[in-house]
Amino acid sequence: MRTTISFNDNWTFNKPCEAAVPVTLPHTWNAIDGQDGGNDYWRGTATYEKRFRQADVGALHEAPAGSRVFLAFDGVAMTADVTLNGKLLAHHEGGYATFRVDLTDALEAENRLTVSVDNSANDRVYPQMADFTFYGGIYRDVSLIVVPAQHFELVKDGTPGIKVTPNVHLKDREAYVVVETWQTGGSEVWIEIPTEQGKEFRRVEARSGHAVTSIILKNVHLWDGLNDPYLYTVTAKLVKNGEAVDEISARFGCREFIIDPEKGFFLNGRSYPLRGVSRHQDRIGLGNALTIKEHEEDMAVVRELGANTLRLAHYQHAQEFYDLCDENGIIVWAEIPYITKHMTNGKANAVSQMKELITQCYNHPSVVCWGLSNEITASSPVTEELLQDHRDINDFCHEMDSTRPTVMAHAFMLEKDSPLIPIADIASYNLYFGWYLGELEQNEQFFDEYHALYPDRVIGFSEYGADANTAFHSSRPEQGDYSEEYQCVYHEHMLKIIEERPYLWATHVWNLFDFAADGRDEGGKKGENQKGLIEFDHKTKKDAFYLYKAAWSKEPFVHLCGKRYIDRAEDTTEIKVYSNCESVTLFVDGKELETKSGKIIFTFTIPITGEHMVEAVSGEFRDQSTVRKVEKPNESYIFGGAGNVVNWFDKEDLKPGYYSIKDKFGELMRNPATAAIVGRIMAKASASRGEVAEGTRDNKALQQMLAGLSFESLLKKAGVNVVPPEAVKSINDALQQIKKEN
Ligand code: GCB
């Protein structure tokens, strides 16, 4: 039988030009510099070393003769060379999948194990371009596995050695389950599945290292999402001369799903609209070096939110986390880091990462699709090479797995008729109208247009979000102000339009948590993408979190928004409550003010004169906050950047009949005089965005979309560094000199 022990302790970490330090895995060398902004975190090659004597490792010196010894690496970013006693045993490319190495033939009495780890830039291993930090290190567990000479396969693509394919017949309440194993040696494999009625058992002949059998589970207990995520466990024993020598097991779930272009996702024959969030794995102070504790905490938050789906972006997550999704009934979109920029030399790596993803995640009932790529046209043109790589990876997914569809997440500027879209079984779009650019309504317009054009194609919403820093607040929230309140306005709109569109097969908020994006410097924080519903500590929940909780969770609660927004300069102020209760009563300074009935969003207007205690109550559920009337707005609530541009003019201040920044970009480009003013400023903005802008210049859909936007919203997107508030004023002054025709 096999023995598995943790090999996380007693490593030495050597970074070039620095003294060696002792470390315990998991470890990343970018926990600090990968999160502090400046896009200057260290990317290079560092070495981890561990010395061990066979005599000190029980699992080794107690192992019977002929045993084989493997090391399992659950995640080493981004490439790894594993050397034992000077012999190079493995080279692995890809920072997010499990790989295992056979140490046996290089083992000595005293051992020196080194893992050389590299996260430097190259043109071969995905990801190379994205906003998130590409942490380096042995950031997941390492374990030592000792198996007999005859054992289940451990090395090939990091396989669990066992593959379970349940095929559910809902009408008969049966599942036809195919179980396969791969092994070295052994003559027979014994397969056992305990059921509620007893157990199913098969003796299977092992031929050329492969054994396969099928079992019909009658009265099958379904894996039914959040309602009842029931898991079966299958055990496989490898038998030699009538005796079991190795044993493995896998959990699986029996479920059926279909995806309808008009009605969306169905689980086990019932409509089950997928509504949830995306997750990146990292956390403040820890980087990507997590333990099961952090994974469990994240899952607890997902449960509190009531989401029924997660997009585990933009790479393979820890196996422990897919396990948690299985156990909690969360439907998962799994993907590889083929992202933002296509690389001519990247195909082999994209294929091998996909092979590992499917091999390692195949048995998880939570996983329902394989994501081929994310916004791959954001900075690459749609070339024949890019199309062919997608076709090949797509075919490859189907060969490996005939039970799950493939999916892609497209950038907003990818034309709806692009030949890239029909390659995958399902298309989804990442749209940020109402945040980076454009108006909120353009989100639903986009999808309705797509759905009208292609009513037979499945379409989904793979990303949408708005950044919010919980330090910033406003009673007149505006796009680009980074306030907690604008994030609420944005998501209130998005929640509504999503609920009105059952054809969206899956929707995922970007993102559940703020995450490290070392190249970013915006909204008052360096190095973070702040589109999370929860801050980077994975603890501080922003108000928008409770909007979705009110929509999705069945746990009754009331949440008073704006607890961090205490000082307010207006005489009457709005108090907003998110709740899944039917009515909410507001008390101010202990006095009952008003009861409102409704759904999810309850707003009250109250006069303020001094400091007031506000309380929202529904039955036994209550929440409290304080508001204080102040003479002047509290400066610390205002993001000193784009916010100034946002509130620069009110429509009433403008001269009617003359052009202004409020006009549509397309309209301004039609008049030669205004086009000259606008053109100059757009050239400057585009130059500052460099490479990404380059790829979008000749994009018809993008040009059309831009034409429909107000020039003001484009200026907001360009940001204060490119167009400072004074410049906005002088552009507007210039436009106000030019009279509109007719
Ligand atoms: C995207 C990317 C994601 C970014 C996000 C953003 O479309 O897929 O990686 O973090 O936009 O916040 O800009």
Note the pLDDT tens digit of each residue in 179-220: 999 999 878 999 999 999 999 999 999 999 999 999 999 999
Q: Report the pLDDT averaged over residues 339-368.
A: 98
Mutation test of ligand 1: which of 312, 314, 375, 533 has the most ligand atoms closer than 8 Å to its C-beta? 375
Distance 300 CA to ligand 1 centre (A): 24
Q: What is the DSSP letter of 741?
A: P
Same domain for 190 and 170? yes
CA distance 76 to 95: 5
Q: What are the DSSP calls for 541-599, one per residue?
A: B-HHHHHHHHHH--S--EEES-TT--EE-SSEEEEEEEESSSEEEEEETTEEEEEEE-S
pLDDT confidence band for 123 (50 / 70 / 90): very high
CA distance 578 to 561: 7
CA distance 554 to 208: 52
Distance 418 CA to ligand 1 centre (A): 21
Does ligand 1 lie within 6 Å of residue 375's CB atom? Answer: yes
Distance 346 CA to ligand 1 centre (A): 21
For ligand 1, atom 7, the nearest C-alpha belongs to 430
Nearest atom (ligand 1) to Cα of 531: 12
Distance 131 CA to ligand 1 centre (A): 7
Residue with tokens 């333990």: 291
The answer as to whether 596 is a domain residue is yes
**527: phi then psi, degrees, rounded to nearest 5:** 80, 15
Question: In Å, how far are 137, 184, 309, 340, 586 from 31, measured between CA atoms?
Answer: 10, 40, 28, 24, 44
CA distance 191 to 200: 8
Same domain for 124 and 234? no
Same domain for 133 and 164? no
Does ligand 1 lie within 6 Å of residue 335's CB atom? Answer: no
Does ligand 1 lie within 6 Å of residue 529's CB atom? Answer: yes
Percentage of the residues of the chain whose pLDDT score is greater than 70 = 95
**594: phi then psi, degrees, rounded to nearest 5:** -165, 150
CA distance 666 to 57: 72
pLDDT at 719: 67
Q: Residue 226: which CATH number? A: 2.60.40.10
Is the pLDDT at 644 greater than 50? The verdict is no
Nearest atom (ligand 1) to Cα of 517: 10
DSSP three-state, residue 312: strand
CA distance 354 to 52: 34
Mean confidence (pLDDT) of the chain: 94
Residue among 200, 191, 186, 178 at smallest CA distance from 237: 191
Give the least confident one: 155-169, 354-368, 492-506, 627-641: 627-641
Is the pLDDT at 642 greater than 50? The verdict is no
The answer as to whether 230 is a domain residue is yes
pLDDT confidence band for 680 (50 / 70 / 90): confident
pLDDT at 649: 63
CA distance 328 to 335: 20
Question: In Å, how far are 59, 289, 456, 598 from 25, measured between CA atoms?
Answer: 20, 8, 49, 51
Q: Report the pLDDT averaged over residues 9-24.
A: 97
pLDDT confidence band for 374 (50 / 70 / 90): very high
Number of domains in the chain: 4
Distance 430 CA to ligand 1 centre (A): 8
Distance 122 CA to ligand 1 centre (A): 21
- Contact present, 545 and 529 (Cβ < 8 Å): no
For ligand 1, atom 10, the nearest C-alpha belongs to 131
The answer as to whether 21 is a domain residue is yes
Does ligand 1 lie within 6 Å of residue 130's CB atom? Answer: yes
pLDDT confidence band for 353 (50 / 70 / 90): very high
Distance 529 CA to ligand 1 centre (A): 9
Distance 31 CA to ligand 1 centre (A): 21
The answer as to whether 116 is a domain residue is yes
The answer as to whether 460 is a domain residue is no
Same domain for 91 and 187? no
Is the pLDDT at 697 greater than 80? The verdict is no
The alpha carbon of 519 is separated from its chain's Cα centroid by a whole number of angstroms, namely 18
Q: What is the DSSP letter of 99?
A: E
Distance 489 CA to ligand 1 centre (A): 20
For ligand 1, atom 13, the nearest C-alpha belongs to 131
Does residue 405 have a cis bond before it (omega within 30 degrees)? no
Nearest atom (ligand 1) to Cα of 430: 7
Does ligand 1 lie within 6 Å of residue 463's CB atom? Answer: yes
Mutation test of ligand 1: which of 462, 529, 530, 717 has the most ligand atoms closer than 8 Å to its C-beta? 529
Q: Report the pLDDT averaged over residues 260-283.
A: 98
As a whole number of angstroms, the longest Cα–Cα distance in the chain is 96
Question: In Å, how far are 359, 393, 720 from 259, measured between CA atoms?
Answer: 23, 21, 44
Does ligand 1 lie within 6 Å of residue 467's CB atom? Answer: no
- Tokens matching residue 92: 């692995």
Is the pLDDT at 409 greater than 60? The verdict is yes
- Contact present, 75 and 97 (Cβ < 8 Å): yes
CA distance 345 to 349: 8
The answer as to whether 13 is a domain residue is yes
Q: Which of 362-366, 658-662, 674-678 has the highest mean pLDDT?
A: 362-366
pLDDT at 692: 44
Nearest atom (ligand 1) to Cα of 409: 8
Question: In Å, how far are 51, 511, 687 from 463, measured between CA atoms?
Answer: 45, 8, 26
Same domain for 620 and 680? no
pLDDT per residue as tens digits for the range 52-111: 999 999 999 999 999 999 999 999 999 999 999 999 999 999 999 999 999 999 999 999
CA distance 588 to 607: 10
Mutation test of ligand 1: which of 510, 513, 692 has the most ligand atoms closer than 8 Å to its C-beta? 510
Q: Which of 252, 276, 295 is the last residue of a domain?
A: 252
The answer as to whether 125 is a domain residue is yes
pLDDT at 186: 78
Residue among 533, 563, 608 at smallest CA distance from 305: 533
The predicted model scores a pTM of: 0.92
Q: What is the DSSP letter of 328?
A: H
Q: Output b/e per residue, 134-158; b: 16+ Cβ within 10 A.
A: bbbbbbbbbebbbbbbbbbbbeebb
Does ligand 1 lie within 6 Å of residue 513's CB atom? Answer: no
Same domain for 130 and 64? yes
Nearest atom (ligand 1) to Cα of 436: 13
Q: What are the DSSP calls for 391-459, one per residue?
A: HHHHHHHHHH-SSS-EEEEEETTS-TT-TTGGGSSEEEEE--BTTTBS-THHHHHHHHHHHHH-TTS-E
Same domain for 35 and 133? yes
Mutation test of ligand 1: which of 463, 487, 525 has the most ligand atoms closer than 8 Å to its C-beta? 463
Same domain for 184 and 99? no
CA distance 548 to 357: 30
Q: Which of 147, 171, 190 is the last residue of a domain?
A: 147
Distance 133 CA to ligand 1 centre (A): 12
Instruction: Give the residue numbers spanning the domain of 17.
Output: 3-147
Q: Report the pLDDT averaged over residues 4-31.
A: 98
Same domain for 576 and 629? yes
Does ligand 1 lie within 6 Å of residue 508's CB atom? Answer: no
Nearest atom (ligand 1) to Cα of 339: 8
- Tokens matching residue 41: 């975190």
Nearest atom (ligand 1) to Cα of 467: 12
Does ligand 1 lie within 6 Å of residue 131's CB atom? Answer: yes
Does ligand 1 lie within 6 Å of residue 245's CB atom? Answer: no
The answer as to whether 336 is a domain residue is no
Q: What are the DSSP calls for 113-179, one per residue?
A: EEEEEE----SSSS-SSSSS----EE-S-EEEEEE-SSEE--SGGG--SEEEEEEEETTTTEEEEEE
pLDDT at 645: 42
State the catalytic residues: 375
pLDDT confidence band for 681 (50 / 70 / 90): confident
CA distance 143 to 100: 9
pLDDT per residue as tens digits for the range 139-158: 999 999 999 999 999 999 99
Nearest atom (ligand 1) to Cα of 375: 8
Does ligand 1 lie within 6 Å of residue 692's CB atom? Answer: no
**Residue 735 vs residue 641, higher pLDDT:** 735
Q: Report the pLDDT averaged over residues 591-606.
A: 98
Distance 373 CA to ligand 1 centre (A): 13
Same domain for 134 and 173? no
pLDDT at 112: 98
Same domain for 668 and 606? no
Q: Which of 611, 636, 661 is the last residue of a domain?
A: 636
Same domain for 597 and 703? no
Does ligand 1 lie within 6 Å of residue 531's CB atom? Answer: yes
pLDDT confidence band for 687 (50 / 70 / 90): low
DSSP three-state, residue 75: coil
pLDDT per residue as tens digits for the range 548-570: 999 999 999 999 999 999 999 99
CA distance 589 to 608: 11
Q: Report the pLDDT averaged over residues 348-371.
A: 98
Q: Residue 61: which CATH number? A: 2.60.120.260
